[in-house]
């Protein structure tokens, strides 16, 4: 990939860069995206049965088992060159803000300082009833089969079921991360939108907010997305190839 010269200049002159990531940044670590045809989680599983509070209330074992399967997949995955390139960018441009929609921990494991998490984390379970944080989870039992139903742990405070610490459909995004994310979107000079379809709001408003405030928007994605219309530069390809090349050329 030959990065366009104006893009390299924008990156070099940027005082504040935002990296806004989605499931595609972890695709090359072997983790499924949501909306890719055939391989995406939402083309194989029904989100209304797995990713809503109503689904958890109706069948906590089914939902907990599915999220434990996903947590184990993440545990066995490694950060890829895209996660590492973003961590290296944070070292080069101190005012870099990483905003992620992902619930895995691969950014942190690649060395990113403290990503703003819009959709929670697979590693921050809490009580479904009283909201108390639950400690670190043990591995599921040895005979746990991928995605099979599993009884959730119980809350030490109230005895309620422990739920995954992710944002489900129909739930509000966490207020403080949202405030920080929109503040960074308004302040940045360049926003890199990496591996996201831009299909889910309010997260997808972040690149739009950055654009409205004059930032240069760079999309890194092998496919067309709902954010194509706001992108000044569309770099088509896998993030683990494009990002290291782009950042090495710029810095």
Catalytic residues: 119
Residue 26 lies near ligand OAD (rule: CB under 6 A): no
Residue 99 lies near ligand OAD (rule: CB under 6 A): no
Stretch that binds ligand OAD, among 123-131, 138-146, 194-202, 206-214 (CB under 6 A): 194-202
Torsion angle defined by CA atoms of residues 229, 191, 40 and 3, in that order, rounded to the nearest 10 degrees: 80
Residue 195 lies near ligand OAD (rule: CB under 6 A): yes
Q: Where are the alpha helices (DSSP H) in the chain?
A: 5-13, 41-44, 47-50, 53-58, 60-75, 81-92, 106-110, 175-187, 205-212, 239-250
Could you count the other beta carbons within 10 Å of the beta carbon of residue 202? 13
Considering beta carbons, is residue 95 or 232 the nearer one to ligand OAD? 232
In angstroms, the CA 226 to CA 202 distance is: 13
Stretch that binds ligand OAD, among 17-25, 125-133, 143-151, 181-189 (CB under 6 A): 17-25
CB of 67 to ligand OAD, least distance (A): 10
In angstroms, the CA 63 to CA 163 distance is: 9
Residue 238 lies near ligand OAD (rule: CB under 6 A): yes
Considering beta carbons, is residue 138 or 172 the nearer one to ligand OAD? 172
Peptide bond into 202 cis (omega under 30): yes
Phi, psi of 40 (to 5 degrees): -65, 145
Decide: 158 and 127 in contact? Cβ < 8 Å.
yes
Interface of this chain with ligand OAD, residues 130 to 149, rule: CB under 6 A: none
In angstroms, the CA 87 to CA 113 distance is: 8
Name residue 234's beta-bridge partners: 219
CB of 156 to ligand OAD, least distance (A): 26
Stretch that binds ligand OAD, among 34-42, 107-115, 144-152, 184-192 (CB under 6 A): 34-42
Q: Which of 163, 207, 225, 247 is close enough to bind ligand OAD by CB under 6 A?
A: 225
Q: Which of 108, 189, 196, 219 is close enough to bind ligand OAD by CB under 6 A?
A: 196
In angstroms, the CA 97 to CA 201 distance is: 19
CB of 238 to ligand OAD, least distance (A): 3
User: How many residues are there in the chain?
Assistant: 251
CB of 12 to ligand OAD, least distance (A): 23
Residue 178 lies near ligand OAD (rule: CB under 6 A): no
Residue 193 lies near ligand OAD (rule: CB under 6 A): no
- Under the rule (CB under 6 A), what is the footprint of ligand OAD? 22-24, 27-28, 33-36, 40, 101, 119, 166-167, 195-197, 199-200, 221-223, 225, 238-239
């Amino acid at each position: 990939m030959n990065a366009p010269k104006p893009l390299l200049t924008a990156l070099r002159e940027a005082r504040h860069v935002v990296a806004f990531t989605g499931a595609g940044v972890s695709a090359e670590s072997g983790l499924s995206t949501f909306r890719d045809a055939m391989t995406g989680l939402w083309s194989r599983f029904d989100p209304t049965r797995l990713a809503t509070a109503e689904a958890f209330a109706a069948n906590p074992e089914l939902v907990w088992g599915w999220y434990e399967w996903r947590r184990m997949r993440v545990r066995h995955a490694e950060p890829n060159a895209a996660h590492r390139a973003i961590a290296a960018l944070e070292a080069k441009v101190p005012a870099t803000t990483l905003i992620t929609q992902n619930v895995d921990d691969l950014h942190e494991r690649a060395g990113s300082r403290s990503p703003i998490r819009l959709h929670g984390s697979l590693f921050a379970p809490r009580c479904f009833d009283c909201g108390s944080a639950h400690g670190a989870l043990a591995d599921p039992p040895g005979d746990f089969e991928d995605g099979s139903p599993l009884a959730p742990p119980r809350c030490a405070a109230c005895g309620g079921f422990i739920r995954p610490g992710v944002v489900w459909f129909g739930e509000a995004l966490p207020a403080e991360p949202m405030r920080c994310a929109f503040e960074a979107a308004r302040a940045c000079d360049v926003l890199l939108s990496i591996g996201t379809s831009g299909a889910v709001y309010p997260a997808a408003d972040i690149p739009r907010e950055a654009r409205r405030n004059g930032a240069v928007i760079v999309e890194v994605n092998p496919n067309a997305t709902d954010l194509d219309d706001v992108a000044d530069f569309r770099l088509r390809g896998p993030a683990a190839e494009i990002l290291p090349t782009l950042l090495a050329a710029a810095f």
